[in-house]
Amino acid sequence: MPNLIFAANWKMNQAPADAAAFLRTFTDQYPRQQDRRVLFFPPAVSLHAVLQGVRERSDLEAGVQNIHWEDKGAFTGETSGPLARAAGARHVLVGHSERRHVFGETDEETGKKVVAAFRAGLTPTVCVGETLAQREAGETIAVVKRQLRAALAGVDVASLVTAIIAYEPVWAIGTGKTATPADASAVHVAIRAELRAIAGERAAVIPILYGGSVNKSNVETLLAAAEVDGVLVGGASLDAEQWLAIVRAS
């Protein structure tokens, strides 16, 4: 079973033609590696192009960046879990800091989206992380645990052990500032302990990714840190050459 995950969050970038060109460059130069999976989170309008680009590669998977917690209805502008799944998504980001801090998504809404993701057959990558003010106030672990508990509140253990968790300190996202491997590791260890408290020993298999200004220069030291099972990458995943260097890291 591959044990490392490299996830690309393209945010609001990469039109369908750009996504197709990216995947051509990427798949040409990246043969399958047995120990890792690569996930792409394009904008929903480019999901089809990504799926076409990865169709012969079971080590490359794709998902959407957000879903609504309802399955259907009068929610103009939203995408539901079943719609995303029917369009070919296998994964969904839930609780990304931009959803929380730009769009005001609450812990409770994040929890409802995680439940909706599992209901639709999508694997949620549940994002948690503290702001700079919370870190400076010594609240990092408490904030992350609270977000995790709220996000996973409605989920049974059998589903929970198939989720992916991403620790993304808000102050490190898109800022060029990265947590030190030791800081990241300390939070990942606390997340693992919290997951064990919820799900018992089976929580050992849940991947915990680090995200926040990861690039080709810092990825190897972050991956070497305890309990870091992969990375979730925004800006540096937009350039195929840089992304290739990141996914080849050991």
Q: Which residues contact ligand PEP (rule: CB under 6 A)?
A: 9, 11, 168, 173-174, 211-214, 232-236
- DSSP secondary structure string for all residues of 146-194: HHHHHHHTT--HHHHTT-EEEE--GGGTTSS----HHHHHHHHHHHHHH
Question: 124, 92 in Cβ contact below 8 A?
Answer: yes
Two tokens at 235? Answer: 């800006």
DSSP H/E element including 241: helix 240-247
Catalytic residue among 168, 188, 194, 227: 168
* Active-site pick, 61, 68, 91, 96: 96
Q: How far is the CB of 200 from ligand PEP (least distance, A)?
A: 29
Q: Is 96 a catalytic residue?
A: yes
Residue 168 known to be catalytic: yes
Q: In the complex, what is the shortest distance from the CB of residue 194 to ligand PEP, in angstroms, rounded to a whole number?
A: 21
Report the residue number, 26 or 41, with the smaller CB distance to ligand PEP.
Answer: 41
* Closest separation in Å from C-beta 168 to ligand PEP: 5
Q: Which residue lies nearer to ligand PEP by CB, 123 or 196?
A: 123
CB of 105 to ligand PEP, least distance (A): 14
Both tokens assigned to 98: 């931009």
- Beta strands per DSSP E along 15-143: 36-41, 60-64, 91-94, 123-128
Nearer to ligand PEP, 32 or 101 (CB): 101
Catalytic annotation, residues = 96, 168
